[in-house]
Amino acid sequence: MEIKQAYSLLTNLGVPTAATDISIEERAGQGENIYRLRKREDVWEFLFVRYEKSDGEEKLQATFYDRDTAVKFYFLYELSSYFSRNYTQPFKTKNEDIFKGIRNFSLNKLKEAFHRLDIPNEYYSLDGNVKNHCFVLEKINECKSKINFFNINGIVLVETMVLDNWSAYSSMYQDVYMLYLLDHYYQKLTENGKIQHKLTDEDYKMFLNPASYFDYNKN
């Protein structure tokens, strides 16, 4: 992915973005923290820029060795933030009866959330049965669960640690909704001729588990 394309797509979504030939970042309001991608010598650096209580202090998060991968990562990271701000968080606010008291978040409340969102059950499995291109909730015991994301070939691309059930259900809500949003967004881009490629396993991993690309997880 080229910087111009990422800039165009983010701008069309209403995400204020600034770009040059070797950098791209969200235009921050006064005091807002942002993420920045820039080329330095032979590498591309993904940086967290802290404006709150500082003057633009930069913290390196991830390093990439080719432009296309770096820009794709930046775009998917910003797209995830956009979906969170405009979809997953507002839905939780508007449906307080489901999400109030997060430690009381139950399997039935998770099912109700998916019902209200009208998300097809092909995107999730709540009984442990494995389906392709799907998040699967795996019960460990009466109190613990974990989540696995299987690609179209039935291979696990993303998995969580073992979580308390309420935390697993909350993560399942977020992950499934984000996957659904990503697929529908890319479908529209493809139909409109703005994207010519299908999402790859690497794309899904970047979007669903960006922290796995952070440098401090590689040591």
Task: Convert the pLDDT of each residue in 66-120 to its tens digit.
Answer: 999 999 999 999 999 999 999 999 999 999 999 988 888 999 999 999 999 999 9
Whether the predicted pLDDT of 205 surpasses 60 = yes
Largest CA distance in the chain: 53
Torsion of CA 116, 119, 123, 125, to 10 degrees: 30
Place of tokens 């500082």: 54
Give the pLDDT of residue 78: 96
Q: Which residue has the higher pLDDT, 196 or 30?
A: 196
Kindly state the average pLDDT of the residues 190-206.
90
Delimit the domains of the chain by residue range. Answer: 1-94, 96-219
Helical (H) or strand (E) element with 204 = helix 201-208
pLDDT band for position 3 (50/70/90)?
A: very high
pLDDT band for position 172 (50/70/90)?
A: very high
Mean pLDDT of the chain: 92
pLDDT band for position 199 (50/70/90)?
A: very high
Whether the predicted pLDDT of 30 surpasses 70 = no
3-state secondary structure of 95: coil
Say if residue 44 is exposed, middle or buried (CB neighbours under 10 Å; 0-12, 13-18, 19+).
Answer: buried
pLDDT band for position 217 (50/70/90)?
A: low
Q: Would you say 26 and 6 are in contact if contact means Cβ atoms under 8 Å apart?
A: no
pLDDT band for position 171 (50/70/90)?
A: very high
Whether the predicted pLDDT of 43 surpasses 80 = yes
pLDDT band for position 206 (50/70/90)?
A: very high
Torsion of CA 121, 125, 130, 135, to 10 degrees: 90
Which residues are 26's β-sheet partners?
17
Kindly state the average pLDDT of the residues 55-74.
92
List the one residue out of 72, 102, 100 whose CA is nearest residue 195: 72
The tokens describing 47, both together, are: 């940086």
Kindly state the average pLDDT of the residues 17-27.
93
